[in-house]
Copies of this chain bind each other. A is one copy, B any other.
Amino acid sequence: MLINAAPDLPQQIRQSGALHPHSGTRGSPIKSVMLTGAEIDQIAGLLSLREREPFTLIATAATLDALASNPIFGALAPELVERRVASLAEPLQLPGGLQAELFATPGKVPLYLESSTAEAGSDSNVGIEIAAGGARIAYVPGAAAVTPAMIERLARADVVLFDGTLFRDDEMIATGTGTKTGRRMGHMPIEGEDGSLAALASIAARRIFVHVNNTNPILVAGSPERSYVEQRGWEVAEDGLEIVL
């Protein structure tokens, strides 16, 4: 998750160009990057941020360890890209007046570490809560289950971005794209009595599915599954989505 600027950034700062690339050939407005895990789709984008522009990389010890075990991420030069270890539920102050906390979320270690000695600790897969100017957003792109502590945290958010990987737990098997269930991959399904729709039915926040797999029929506008989640108050994220709090 890229933290570009505070959602409550004053208009004069927006107009100053603070959200646009700095002057110079390769300037970037990105000040901080927070990671929710070390799965490929969570970290591969870092390789596109390696052009010697400074930022702070914030993640749990487990995630930073996974990065450090891959020499390729040494391309994020340590003298420019500060690694900051975040503990769970530790309040973090970010540029632009943002506050953030990482919180425990059931999940698993990245696939490419499954055969290693790495074990899924409570900090292998996390969610992020971001607050600014009295508004809160929760970002949970991967969740194998919803815990009571998560419910408590999500209930106070204005917007929840939640794991929408699969509609059905056996979807990868049914479509011939894989041999594992969603839960085996660390992702709870949307449907069913132990799916995310049921688990988060009590949340008042604006709720948006993210991390949607290309087998998930909610991606298809007008599909029965899309209607099903929309009727229950959910949205489906799309490229370029902007959220105003």
Whole-angstrom distance between the Cβ of A84 and the nearest chain B Cβ = 21
Cβ-defined partner of A75 (8 Å) among B74, B111, B116, B215:
B111
* Contact (Cβ within 8 A) A47 B52: no
Q: Which of A24, A47, A215 has the most CB of B within 10 A?
A: A47
Cβ-defined partner of A70 (8 Å) among B52, B72, B115:
B72
A134 at the interface (CB under 8 A from B): no
Copies of chain A in the complex: 2
A15 at the interface (CB under 8 A from B): no
A40 at the interface (CB under 8 A from B): yes
The count of chain A contact residues (Cβ–Cβ below 8 Å) is 30
Contact A71 to B26, CB < 8 A, known contacts A47-B40, A52-B178, A178-B52: no
Q: What would 19 more interface pairs be, CB under 8 Å, given A26-B214, A70-B70? A: A24-B176, A25-B175, A25-B177, A25-B215, A26-B177, A40-B50, A40-B72, A40-B75, A44-B44, A44-B47, A44-B72, A51-B177, A69-B71, A70-B71, A72-B72, A72-B112, A73-B112, A75-B111, A75-B112
Question: What are 12 A-B pairs with beta-carbon distances under 8 A?
Answer: A25-B175, A25-B214, A26-B177, A26-B214, A40-B50, A52-B177, A70-B71, A71-B116, A72-B112, A74-B112, A75-B111, A75-B112
